[in-house]
Amino acid sequence: MTDLDYDLHCDAERAKKRQKFEAAGHFVHVCVCCPQDDVLCLTFEHPAGKNSDDTTLLVCMNCKALRDCLQRAEPSPSPNPRNVFEVIGRWLLSMAGYFGILMSTLRGFGDFLINLAKDGYGDDLSFV
Amino acid sequence: MATTSASSDDPTGAVPEAEPRSIFLRAYVPTDEPTPKRRGYPRPSDWVLVFDTETWPDAAQNMRIGTYQLRQRGRLRDKGIFYNPEEVRDFELAVLQREAVKHGSRLITVTEFREAILFDAAYKTDASIVGFNLPFDISRLAIKHGSARTIVRKDGTKDRSMVGGFTFKLSDVEGRPNIRVRHLSRRSAFINFTQVWDDPVYVMGDEGEEEVVKKPGFFLDLRTLAAALTSNSFTLDRLAGFLGVGRKGTFSDFGRDLDPELIAYAVQDTQVTWECYEALISRYRQHQLATPPTRIYSEAGLGKAYLNAMNIRPWRAVQPEFPPEIIGAIMSSYFGGRSEVHRRREIVPTLYCDFASMYPSVCTLMDLWRYVVSDGMTREDWTDGARALLAGVDLAALQRPETWRDFHALVLVKPAADIFPVRARYSDGPGGRYGADPSTTIGLNYLTSEQPVWMTLPDCIASKLLTGKSPEVVQAIRFVPKDVHTGLAPVNIAGNSAYGVDPATDNFYKRVIDLRREVKGRLSAAKKSGAAKSEIDRLDAEQLALKILANATSYGIFIELNVEDADRQDEPVTAYGVDGSFPTSPRQTETPGSHFHPLLATLITGSARLMLAITERLLLDEGLDWAFCDTDSMAFARPAGMAQTEFRKRVERVCAWFSALNPYEKPGSILEFEDQNTDRETGEPRDLYCYAISAKRYALFNWGDDGRPIIRKASAHGLGHLLPPYGPDDPDEPERDTGVHLWQEHFWEQMITAAAGRADDDDAEFVWRPELAKPAASRYAATTPTVLSWFAPFNKHRHYASQVRPFNFLLWFQSKKPHERAVEDNGALFDPRQRPPKPVAPYTKDLSTIDHIWDRETGEDVEPAWLRTYAEVLRTYPVHSESKFLDGGRTRRGPTRRRHILADLVWNIGKEGDRFEEDGSIGAEDDPAVPYGLTPSHRAAAIEAVRETKERFGVRAFRKAAGVSDNTITRALEPDSTIADRDLVRMRNGAERLWAADGVRAKEDAALLDGMRSRATEIGVPALAAELGVDASNLAKVLARTRTISASLRRSHAGT
CA-based nearest residue in chain B for residue A45: B204
Determine the residue of chain B that is closest to A11 in CA distance.
Answer: B125
Q: Please indicate whether residue B11 or residue B169 has the higher confidence score (pLDDT).
A: B169
pLDDT of amino acid A50? 81
Closest by alpha carbon to B79, among B46, B44, B37, B108? B108
Does residue B41 sit at the A interface (CB-CB below 8 Å)? yes
Minimal CA separation from A10 to chain B, in Å: 8
Check residue B928 and give its pLDDT. Answer: 57
Residue B473 is given by DSSP the state E
Residues 6+ apart with CB under 8 A from B807: B135, B136, B139, B181, B183, B781, B782, B783
With CB atoms and an 8 Å threshold, state whether A19 touches B78. no
pLDDT tier, B835 (very low <50, low <70, confident <90, very high otherwise):
confident
**DSSP strands (E only) in B213-258:** 218-221
Torsion angle (degrees, nearest 10) of CA B117, B119, B121, B124:
170
Reported ipTM: the value is: 0.82
CA-based nearest distance B298→chain A, Å: 24
Bridge partners of B78? B70
- The rounded percent of chain B whose pLDDT value lies above 70 is 89
**Count of CB pairs separated by less than 8 Å, A with B:** 57
Mean pLDDT of B901-930: 62
pLDDT tens per residue, range A41-74: 999 999 888 888 888 999 999 999 999 898 888 8
pLDDT at B548: 83
Mean pLDDT for chain A?
A: 90
Residues of chain A neighbouring B204 (CB-CB closer than 8 A): 24, 44, 54, 56
Tens-digit pLDDT profile for residues B261-290: 999 999 999 999 999 999 999 989 988 898
pLDDT value at position B804? 85
Nearest to A8 among B43, B120, B201 (CB): B120
- pLDDT for B429-462, tens place per residue? 555 555 555 678 899 999 999 889 999 999 999 9
pLDDT greater than 90 at residue B105: yes
- Contact B40/A at CB under 8 A: yes
State whether residue A20 sits within 8 Å of chain B by CB: yes
Nearest residue, CB atoms, B45 vs list A11, A22, A25 = A11
- Residue of B201, B213, B215 to mutate, interface with A, max A Cβ within 10 Å: B201
Please state which of the ranges B73-82, B189-198, B929-938 shows the lowest mean pLDDT. Answer: B189-198
Residue B246 has pLDDT above 80, yes or no: no
**How confident is the model over B353-384, as pLDDT tens digits?**
999 999 999 999 999 999 999 999 999 999 99
To the nearest whole Å, the CA of B205 is away from the closest chain A CA by 8
Q: From the list A12, A22, A24, which residue is nearest B204 (CB)?
A: A24
Question: Does the beta-carbon distance from B40 to A7 stay under 8 Å?
Answer: no
Q: What percent of chain B stands above pLDDT 90?
A: 45
The pLDDT of residue B248 is: 67
Task: Give CA B45 to chain center in angstroms.
Answer: 36
pLDDT of residue B841: 85
Strand, helix or coil at B74?
coil
> CA B64, CA B95: separation in Å to the nearest integer?
13
Does position B471 have pLDDT exceeding 80, yes or no? yes
Mutate to test the interface with B, among A6, A17, A20, A22 (most CBs of B within 10 A): A22
| Residue of A18, A17, A74 whose CA lies nearest to B42 | A18
For residue B925, what pLDDT band results from cuts at 50, 70 and 90? very low
- The C-alpha of B150 sits at a distance from chain A's nearest C-alpha, in angstroms, of 22
Q: Which of A47-61, B66-80, B782-796, B820-834 has the lowest mean pLDDT?
A: B820-834
Compare all CA atoms of chain B with the CA of A26 and give the residue at the minimum distance: B40
Res. B921 pLDDT band, cuts 50 70 90: very low
Q: Which of B40, B206, B215 sits opposite A27 (nearest CB)?
A: B40
Residues forming beta bridges with residue B840, ordered by sequence position: B812, B854
CA–centroid distance for B114 within its chain: 37
* Cβ-nearest to A24 among B43, B45, B203: B203
Q: How confident is the model at residue B404 (pLDDT cuts 50, 70, 90)?
A: very high
Please indicate whether, in this complex, the C-beta atoms of B41 and A8 are within 8 angstroms of each other.
no
d(CA B71, CA B99): 21
Say if residues B358 and B632 touch (Cβ distance below 8 Å). yes
For residue B255, give Cα distances in angstroms to B252, B262, B611, B795: 9, 10, 56, 22
Residue B302 predicted with pLDDT over 60: yes
Q: Which of A11, A44, A54 sits opposite B125 (nearest CB)?
A: A11
pLDDT band for position B826 (50/70/90)?
A: low
A8 pLDDT band, cuts 50/70/90, is: very high
| Alpha-carbon span B555 to A37, nearest angstrom | 40
Contacts of A15 in chain B (CB under 8 A): 45, 124-126
pLDDT confidence band for B425 (50 / 70 / 90): confident
CB atoms within 10 A of CB B776: 22
Angstrom distance (rounded) from CA B842 to CA B57: 7
The answer to whether A55 contacts chain B (CB < 8 Å) is: no
Name the architecture of domain B47-286.
Answer: 2-Layer Sandwich (3.30)
How much is the pLDDT for B440?
Answer: 81
Q: What are the chain A neighbours of B217 within 8 Å (beta carbons)?
A: none
Interval B502-547: pLDDT, tens:
999 988 889 889 988 888 889 989 988 988 877 887 788 788 878 8
Instruction: Kindly indicate the confidence band of residue B1056, based on its pLDDT and cuts at 50, 70 and 90.
Output: low
Q: Which contacts (CB < 8 Å, 24+ apart) does range B1039-1047 have?
A: B1039/B1009, B1039/B1012, B1039/B1013, B1041/B1009, B1045/B1005, B1045/B1008, B1045/B1009, B1046/B450, B1047/B941, B1047/B944, B1047/B945
Q: What is the pLDDT of residue A77?
A: 83
Cis peptide before B663 (omega within 30 of 0): no
Which chain A residues touch B75 with a CB distance below 8 Å?
A: none
Inspect the interface and report whether the beta carbons of B78 and A4 lie closer than 8 Å: yes
Q: Do B41 and A27 touch (CB under 8 A)?
A: yes
Q: Are B257 and B249 in contact (CB under 8 A)?
A: no
Q: List chain A domain ranges.
A: 3-118
In this predicted model, what pLDDT tens digit does every residue of B146-190 receive, in sequence order? 988 877 766 666 777 788 899 999 999 887 889 999 998 888 999
Over the range B963-996, which residues count as b (16 or more CB within 10 Å of their CB) and which as e? ebeeebbebbeeeeeebebebbbbbbbbbbebbe
Chain B residues whose CB is inside 8 A of the A2 CB are: none
Distance CA A51, CA B598 (A): 47
Please state, in angstroms and rounded to a whole number, the distance separating the CA atoms of residues B66 and B62.
11
Per DSSP, what are the bridge partners of residue B201?
A: B212
Say whether residue B448 is in contact with chain A using an 8 A CB cutoff. Answer: no
Least confident of B26-35, B222-231, B855-864: B26-35
Average pLDDT in the B1014-1030 region?
A: 86
Three-state DSSP state, B279: helix
d(C-alpha A72, C-alpha B973), whole Å: 78
Interface check for A24 against chain B (CB to CB < 8 A): the answer is yes
CB contact under 8 A, A20 and B77: no
Please tell me if residue A4 touches chain B, with a CB cutoff of 8 Å: yes
Query: Is A25 within 8 Å of B77 when comparing Cβ atoms?
Result: no
Q: Does residue A28 belong to the interface with chain B, where contact is any CB pair within 8 Å?
A: yes
* Ranges B129-133, B832-836, B977-981: which has the least confidence: B832-836
Residues of chain B with CATH 3.30.420: 47-286
Mean pLDDT over B956-981 rounds to 87
Nearest to A7 among B72, B201, B204 (CB): B72
Determine, for residues A12 and B124 on separate chains, whether the beta-carbon distance falls below 8 Å: yes
